[in-house]
Amino acid sequence: MGNHSVLQVGPLKPSLAHTLAVDYAAAVLPDSSAERADFLTRRGAEFTAAVTSGRTGVDAALMSALPNLGAVINFGVGYDTTDVDAAKTRGVGVSNTPDVLTDCVADTAVGLMIDTLRQFSASDRYVRAGRWPVDGNYPLTRQVSNTRVGIIGLGRIGKAIAERLSAFGCVISYHNRREVADARYTYAASPLDLASNVDVLIVAAAGGESTRGLVSKEVIAELGPRGYLINIARGSVVDQDALVEALLDGRLAGAGLDVFTDEPKVPEELFDLSNVVLLPHVGSGTEQTRAAMEALTLRNLDSFLKTGTLVTPV
């Protein structure tokens, strides 16, 4: 690998971490502050490539401690935990793993929507608790087909979600930073406008400061007591405190959440609500997709080490 040296930042898929250690002699950035500071003082100048994930990232302070860094290789499509502006200023390339996880995340969004509206997980718990013979049939729930669905973020994943739900007869509208050319769905100028005309609001926008709190208290209020929120994007895109309050007060019909503001911490107030489905950030969590993500991560790393370019730069 010539004069290049690789640094692993944060936990990664075990097989990827093993490959980095064995095939690239990668070092691992220590977790504790004291050990990290000593490590970076001694070895920070060695590293030209950092491999990380969307859950950890490389911030501006870490970039400063890695003066010869040339690339941040991100395992995952989301890269909001990496300071892209600081990277651009320093001439550091950033890559992610788009496309390979689109189908699985879109599948998750649809499955989460079905589970939330039909309350299948809650029905399963009802049966397991022995309540069916005692309390009778489970209460009626909300139909999924032919509902009005709004999607925030009509990128690769948002479009894949829309295609799937169109097959359910759902009426699709969306909000994006700008209107998508040739999109066959109705455009809404703001999240508030979108929420006012849908039964289900699906969040598929990228994370980061530009989308922080995009689904605000006002948007949640506009969605209303018969509306549902599905989030498979980033917890930061939704005002989580406002969401919890609305769910507890009955001002929102339900929510399906794969992501949270401070993972792995999840608001415990939601644990007993049958109209809320909680997933541990498993949107892309299939063997096939994670293997494809790992392969693309290594392709980006190999390309940078050999040519100084990235296969999928952001």
CA 69 to chain centre: 26
**Per-residue pLDDT, 3:** 56
**Per-residue pLDDT, 51:** 98
β-strands 93-95, 71-75 pairing: parallel
Mean pLDDT by 10 residues, the chain (314 residues): 80 97 97 95 97 95 97 94 96 96 97 98 98 98 98 97 98 96 96 98 93 97 98 97 98 98 96 97 96 98 97 96
**Which domains does the chain show, CATH number per domain?**
6-98+288-307 (3.40.50.720), 102-278 (3.40.50.720)
Given a contact cutoff of 8 angstroms between Cβ atoms, the answer to whether 294 and 15 are in contact is: yes
Residue position matching structure tokens 């939704």: 238
* 227/275 Cα distance (integer angstroms): 11
**Per-residue pLDDT, 208:** 85
* 157/230 Cα distance (integer angstroms): 14
**Per-residue pLDDT, 1:** 43
Residue position matching structure tokens 């999840």: 266
Q: How many CA atoms lie within 13 A of 204 on its CB side?
A: 32
88 φ, ψ (degrees, to nearest 5):
-65, -40
**Per-residue pLDDT, 289:** 96
The residues that are catalytic are 234, 263, 281
